[in-house]
Amino acid sequence: MKILAVDSSAKSASVAVAENGRLISECFVNNTLTHSRTLMPMVDNALSQADITLGDIDALCVNVGPGSFTGIRIGVAAVKGLAAADNKPCAGVSTLESVAYNFADESCIVCAAMDARCNQVYTALFRCDGTVVNRICDDKAVSVDELGEELSQYSEKIYLAGDGAEICFKAFGERLENVTLSGENRRYQRAFGAALAAQKNNEFTDSALLAPVYLRLPQAERELRIRKGESL
């Protein structure tokens, strides 16, 4: 199965073409340009580098969250548009799960953490055994301190990854000897990780059913509810 994978859930963005778990081509950027400018050129480049066309793709996938509200919407909309003409099957993937696949060849726990601001992170834990990535807990939004307490229950080697990893490591990394801050070369989510997760989970569906997954309300809506005295 040839999969076209897209990620635009945070500051970085990437597009990959994978076939049966093998990376064929990949484009990655981590700059100040908006994803609306960079994403479709990266799709064209990834397909060109793989020497195929969109018609050769069997399915598409995209990181649907958590992450940047705007970035997620751009990625989901792009994949919906690419899939619509030929009604290609699509899969939505957890951004945190795609991070974990950077460590699939390790024997460890991956704590994927994305900065949710206000000293909170979006996070989930995954166990890698050298070949397979298995989820330990659901995606959630918690305080950095709460995450530190949760990780203190584990004795296995833990990699902190994601754009919230450094924040977490500064908060509790020194007192947890089994926790390691991952290197930048595999700290961030990648479209290839999304493709691996999509193939393993095998939850492809109609593109019309793709939707962003937000663990919290957008900041503007949260502030509005606070002003009105409503619960979040």
Q: Which domains does the chain have, with CATH numbers?
A: 2-96+189-225 (3.30.420.40), 102-186 (3.30.420.40)
Instruction: Write the pLDDT tens digit of every residue in 195-227.
Output: 999 999 999 999 999 999 998 655 545 444 445
Contact 67, 162 (CB under 8 A): no
Burial of 11 per CB tally in 10 Å (0-12, 13-18, 19+):
middle
CA dist 58 and 188 (Å) reads: 26
Instruction: Write the pLDDT tens digit of every residue in 124-163.
Output: 999 999 999 999 999 999 999 999 999 999 999 999 999 9
Instruction: Write the pLDDT tens digit of every residue in 38-55.
Output: 999 999 999 999 999 999
What global pTM score does this model have?
Answer: 0.91
pLDDT for 218 equals 53
Coil, helix or strand at residue 1? coil
Bridge partners of 161?
Answer: 112
